[in-house]
Amino acid sequence: MADNPALSANLRRLSQELSEFADKSPPCDSRRAANQALAGEVASKMLLCNARGNTGFRSAITEQMILSRAEQLRRNPALKRPSDDISDEAVLGTQDCVFLFCGPPRYANPFLLVFKPEVEMEIRAEEPVASPFDSGGLRTKMRPMDTDAQRREFLERHELPVPEYREFLASTLATLFDSPWNYLDGIPPDPLGPLDLTDGDARRWTFEVRFRTQLALDLHLSAVLVPVNFATAQAKVLASDGTDKVARQIVGWAKAGCLETYVEGDGSGGTDAMLLKGVEVISARLGRRP
């Protein structure tokens, strides 16, 4: 079990609340037994994703680490912007965290780093924590909290130990989702469950794992998703500059079989291409049958 008593207490309380909710909600109660085995398997194997923009992706390759915003600023104070003091992360006290979704990407950035669950088992000075929602959405998108103090308090009450949170994820997948695969496919839980959150998008019910300060890229990286024309552009860079660090890394990932590319497109005519590819890659690694 986890060493942190507060996190363990949160896990027990949330598990109890979910169980009581399911007992009183006929669809949850009836699907629980049928979903249990698959939910346990999906929850235990679910991969973790970090979506990055162009700058953040290049920076992660250069540093060979994903750095928290606070760590970026410690290393280079010139990066500081006025918005850093009022960002969601600053207000919630999570500015020194590296954020990963447990499951597919729920953010707009075009580059995706996909980690195996084993990354959670790495020994580190400060343990990561999980929450059953994306903490960044608490401030502006999810209700019903009125003040930042209430939001911080809400977050603290929902922080869970890692990797033990996966037990709660399994219960959530078994009871709140018609099929555990719905979580992966972005189909919302029905009913929403006992968590006192409304509004927002898929980030309201997508689990998050927060690592303290930094996360090394060579730790259990399973896949890297980039747009096709970014990948081909890196190949072109290498034709004139064989030392380019980003391009060399892309080659390294290609040779290791973990580079995945997608056609960026425009969002018309179906599911967003990056999201679709992210789900496809995770599904394949979870052994989901087409």
- Point out which residues bind another protein (CB under 8 A): 53-56, 81, 83, 86-87, 105-110, 140-141, 186, 199-203, 227-229, 231-236, 238-240, 242, 247-248, 250-251, 254-255, 259-272, 274-275
Sign of CA dihedral 106, 130, 91, 98: negative
Q: Smallest distance from the beta carbon of 286 to another protein, in angstroms?
A: 18
- Which one, 132 or 227, has the nearer CB to another protein? 227
- Which one, 10 or 206, has the nearer CB to another protein? 206
- Which one, 21 or 253, has the nearer CB to another protein? 253
CB of 112 closer than 8 Å to CB of 274? yes
Chain centre to alpha carbon of residue 274: 15
Q: Smallest distance from the beta carbon of 226 to another protein, in angstroms?
A: 10
- Which one, 141 or 288, has the nearer CB to another protein? 141
What are the beta bridge partners of residue 130?
A: 160, 209
- Which one, 254 or 286, has the nearer CB to another protein? 254
Between CA 7 and CA 156 the distance in angstroms is: 9
Q: Smallest distance from the beta carbon of 2 to another protein, in angstroms?
A: 31
Q: Smallest distance from the beta carbon of 266 to another protein, in angstroms?
A: 4
Q: Smallest distance from the beta carbon of 214 to another protein, in angstroms?
A: 19
Neighbour order of strands in the sheet with 259-262: 160-161, 129-131, 208-212, 97-102, 48-52, 111-115, 221-227, 259-262
Provide DSSP, 188-242: PPSS--SS--BSS-GGGTS-EEEEESEEETTSSEEEEEEEHHHHHHHHHHHHH-T
- Which one, 34 or 263, has the nearer CB to another protein? 263
- Which one, 14 or 281, has the nearer CB to another protein? 281
CB of 48 closer than 8 Å to CB of 117? yes
Q: Smallest distance from the beta carbon of 44 to another protein, in angstroms?
A: 26
Q: Smallest distance from the beta carbon of 211 to another protein, in angstroms?
A: 21
Between CA 194 and CA 228 the distance in angstroms is: 41
Classify residue 262 by its DSSP letter.
E
Between CA 267 and CA 115 the distance in angstroms is: 26
How many CB atoms are closer than 10 A to CB 5? 10
What are the beta bridge partners of residue 101?
A: 49, 208
